[in-house]
Structure formats: C-alpha cells, structure tokens
Amino acid sequence: MDQSEKDAGTIAALVIRMEESRLPRARRLQERVIAGETLSDSDISFLKRVHDDYRDNQALIMRNPDYSHLMASFIDLYAEIIARGFENEKAR
C-alpha cells in the first residue's frame, strides 16, 4: 500500500469522525457560548483532543491540500468557540 492509499483511508476516517461526532458537538458548543455560557472542563478537554488530532495530522493535510479548506473552516469554528467561551468566562 502506497502513501496515497494510506492517506485516503486516514482522511476517510477523519471525515467520518468529524461529520458524525465532532462537528455536531462543536455546533452545540457554539450555540451555548453564543448564548453566553462558559465552557466546562469536559468541553475544554474535547477541544484539546481536537487540537491534538489536528496537530498530529498536519503532515497528512499538507500532503493532501484538497482537504486543507475543510480543516481550516473546522479550526475556525473551534477558534470561535474558544474565544467566545473565554469572553464569557471573563464576563462572569
């Protein structure tokens, strides 16, 4: 199996996890922080896991630039959640 085949399998798994698990949870978090709520320890752990996965898969994304826009928009969503959560925490 060559690198492109391995990448395709890994990307498929990452996209499935993003669509079925991470994106729905991120949208729920986004709704909560927009409503003024703060992030729980569980929320922060989730965001850290996502960040760690992104960091661990940067080489994969660099080798497959067609997916970089997808990852960038996802990271933007997480950045918004973190920023709003931080602002909500400061406002308390």
- Binning pLDDT at 50, 70 and 90, where does residue 4 land? confident
Distances in Å between the Cα of 87 and the Cα atoms of 38, 45, 50, 81 are: 8, 18, 21, 10
Token digits for 65? 């630039």
Instruction: Quote the pTM value.
Output: 0.86
Q: How many CB atoms lie within 10 A of CB 16?
A: 10
What's the DSSP call for residue 65? G
- What is the mean pLDDT of the segment spanning 28-34? 98
Please give the residue that has the higher pLDDT: either 74 or 41.
41
Q: What is the spatial distance between Cα 47 and Cα 45, in angstroms, rounded to a whole number?
A: 5
Please report, for the chain, the start and end positions of each structural domain, with discontinuous segments joined by +.
Answer: 3-91
Residues 6-26 have pLDDT tens digits of 989 999 999 899 999 999 999
Tell me what pLDDT residue 38 has. 97
Mean pLDDT of 47-73: 89
CA–CA separation, 17 vs 6, rounded Å?
17
